Homo-oligomer: A and B are copies of this chain.
Amino acid sequence: MFGLMMHSPLLISSLIEHAAKHHADTPIVSKEADGTMYRSNWREVHERSQLLARALIKHGIQPGDRVATLAWNTHRHVEAYYAISGIGAICHTINPRLFKEQISLIINHAEDKLIFIEKQFMPLMEELKLNNEALSLVVMDQDSSVLSSRYNTLNYEQLLKAVEPGAWSWPQLKENDASSLCYTSGTTGMPKGVLYSHRSTVLHAFAVALPDSLGLSARDSVLPVVPLFHANAWGIPYAAAMVGAKLVLPGHELGGAHLATLLKQEEVTVTAGVPTVWQGLINHLQHTQESLSHLERLGVGGAQCPLPIIQFFEQRGVRVMPGWGMTETSPVVTLMQPKYSQHQMSDEERLQWLTKSGRILYGADMKIVDEGGQELPQDGKAVGELYVRGHWVCQAYYQNDQSPLKAGWLATGDMATIDQAGFMQITDRAKDMIKSGGEWISSLTLEQIASTFNGVAEAAVIAAQHEYWGERPLLFIVPQAGVDIDTEQLLNHLQQHVAKWWVPDRVLMVKELPHTATGKLNKLSLRKTWGDELKKNPLNS
């Protein structure tokens, strides 16, 4: 027997429709390429996204067509998000920080018909090797003089102007229709496309907005530093519309000074991004002695959050919320939020506890397994591969036969523990673990401990080849500006926290470390350059 409740599909268009109707005047502010602030609101952004949707239909975009974006976090990118998905096309967000070859591969694989593109990436377009000669570009800028020599070029604002304004309704799609596409960028080889649906996106937005996630309300001013091309900016553009929050879009400048100005000026209460960004903000705030009086909560993901970053913000009254997820998981699957038994945790306990990666949100599930796929105990000690599943977890890649599933679960490739209370801790990427004399060493744990040593700005540990042990840890340190770090003392510090045989064989002081396009430490690059350092120079180890 069926229930007798109204039935309408869970659609992305319903999110912005709700915001436009019920939070019409709530601001959306966006930093333009020229540094000026564009001030808008949900009503206007909705109106513009409807004009854009109609322009896309006029231009021949059909449901199921892939329409790409190569863009920063701006109001136009948010409008394009809603316009593309709203008409049943698929919003394919491309990370502009990827190598040219990867971008070409991705666009060719997705068979994009049209690309929304920032003016600054137009030269990049000329260098790509694309199959689709009929590709159109839409330049996301006021400046309509920018033209490609190879592709049909349209101007975003001109497109909108060519549409007759007036009442128009979003089409009624099916909730399982594909809505957006994002390629994983972390691994070697061909990037794989994750194809989100309207349903998965809306359910994920609910989960992200809940009090034990980002806790978004209409009173919030939300600044997603995490890019819109990065797993849907952790769902923030959708969750903000769902709750009618103010949205602050930082454009392309994410340095500490720029962020600090925006956070203050726009009275931002919640922000989210990768640890590297917060380190930049901390450097700026320490230098200028500024404070951020409105900021209440800070989401951290994409990489393990170092304790000093947690400490800095928590000690200033900002609640730090580390989380875990990946492109394949929409992305948010776990977040660090206390359970009932922890509601009276002391500040000191809380700091240490925050170095974990979170507990599962309703709508998803997780477990750790051994190499044979057998579930391991949740005792905080057993290390296994993290398996996840849920409404917003992918079950297959786009046009790719390689299944990410094992027995119905997504095998994440991350190694983790889960403690008795259900808090997960990533110990390493499976491929970053160091196998020394047959025993596993967690590079991540060593990095976390090293980063708590005075004067350390950033730390990285890789597996270096070793003639006797197979692999041994090699530690890279980026000292804070003007600080001279004593290697002996640093190693002593490490030895106080880990087994003696975990202590790295060598410490290398460097000015900077390589990062991937998504801001993660590029250990692959480090391993390529330094992987045989202990073999080449064994004596001075």
- Contacting pair A5 B211 (CB below 8 A): no
Interface residues of A in 205-256 (CB under 8 A from B): 206-207, 209-212, 215-221, 242-246
Query: Given the known A-B contacts A26-B341, A212-B218, A340-B218, are A396 and B195 also in contact in the complex, defined by CB atoms under 8 Å?
Result: no
**Which of A118-126, A173-181, A448-456 forms contacts with chain B?**
A173-181
Query: Given the known A-B contacts A212-B218, A393-B6, are A339 and B244 also in contact in the complex, defined by CB atoms under 8 Å?
Result: yes
- Chain B residues in 8 Å Cβ range of A440: none
Q: Most chain-B Cβ atoms within 10 A of its Cβ — which of A22, A64, A389?
A: A22
Does any Cβ of B come within 8 Å of A500's Cβ? no
Query: Given the known A-B contacts A210-B209, A218-B212, are A8 and B64 also in contact in the complex, defined by CB atoms under 8 Å?
Result: no
Kindly report which residue of chain B lies nearest to residue A22, judged by CB atoms: B422
Does any Cβ of B come within 8 Å of A414's Cβ? no
Kindly report which residue of chain B lies nearest to residue A63, judged by CB atoms: B1
Kindly report which residue of chain B lies nearest to residue A3, judged by CB atoms: B197
Task: Give min CB distance, A201 to chain B, whole Å.
Answer: 9
Task: For A27, give its contact among B4, B63, B177, B340 (CB under 8 Å).
Answer: B340
Q: Most chain-B Cβ atoms within 10 A of its Cβ — which of A63, A194, A209, A212?
A: A212
Does any Cβ of B come within 8 Å of A392's Cβ? yes
- Contacting pair B5 A340 (CB below 8 A): no
Does any Cβ of B come within 8 Å of A259's Cβ? no
Kindly report which residue of chain B lies nearest to residue A246, judged by CB atoms: B340
- Contacting pair A211 B217 (CB below 8 A): yes
- Contacting pair B339 A4 (CB below 8 A): no
Does any Cβ of B come within 8 Å of A196's Cβ? yes
- Contacting pair B23 A340 (CB below 8 A): yes
Does any Cβ of B come within 8 Å of A433's Cβ? no
Query: Given the known A-B contacts A210-B209, A212-B217, A243-B211, are A1 and B340 also in contact in the complex, defined by CB atoms under 8 Å?
Result: no
Task: Give min CB distance, A331 to chain B, whole Å.
Answer: 12
Does any Cβ of B come within 8 Å of A468's Cβ? no
- Chain B residues in 8 Å Cβ range of A318: none
Task: For A177, give its contact among B1, B197, B198, B343 (CB under 8 Å).
Answer: B1
- Chain B residues in 8 Å Cβ range of A245: 340
Q: Interface digits, A362-392 against B, CB 8 Å rule (1 contact, 0 not)?
A: 1001000000000000000000000001111
Task: For A26, give its contact among B63, B340, B410 (CB under 8 Å).
Answer: B340
On chain A, the number of residues with a Cβ less than 8 Å from chain B's Cβ atoms is 75
Does any Cβ of B come within 8 Å of A199's Cβ? yes
- Chain B residues in 8 Å Cβ range of A195: 1, 3-5
- Contacting pair A393 B5 (CB below 8 A): yes
Query: Given the known A-B contacts A244-B340, A340-B246, are A394 and B2 also in contact in the complex, defined by CB atoms under 8 Å?
Result: no
Indicate how many identical chains form the complex: 2
**Cα–Cα, bound, A76→B347 (Å):** 38
Does any Cβ of B come within 8 Å of A90's Cβ? yes
- Chain B residues in 8 Å Cβ range of A8: 391
Task: For A243, give its contact among B3, B209, B216, B362 (CB under 8 Å).
Answer: B362
Does any Cβ of B come within 8 Å of A337's Cβ? yes
**Cα–Cα, bound, A176→B342 (Å):** 37
- Contacting pair B212 A394 (CB below 8 A): no
**Cα–Cα, bound, A14→B207 (Å):** 14
**Cα–Cα, bound, A304→B266 (Å):** 36
- Contacting pair A362 B395 (CB below 8 A): no
A-B contact pairs, 30 of them (CB 8 A): A1-B63, A2-B174, A3-B177, A3-B196, A3-B197, A3-B198, A4-B178, A4-B194, A4-B195, A4-B197, A4-B395, A5-B196, A5-B392, A5-B394, A6-B389, A6-B391, A6-B394, A7-B391, A10-B391, A18-B362, A21-B365, A21-B422, A23-B340, A26-B339, A209-B210, A211-B217, A218-B343, A219-B340, A244-B339, A246-B340
New contact pairs (12) apart from A2-B176, A3-B179, A212-B243, CB-CB < 8 Å: A1-B177, A2-B178, A3-B197, A5-B330, A5-B395, A6-B393, A26-B340, A210-B243, A212-B217, A217-B337, A218-B339, A245-B340
Closest 7 CB pairs of A and B: A3-B197, A211-B217, A5-B200, A1-B64, A219-B343, A4-B195, A206-B206
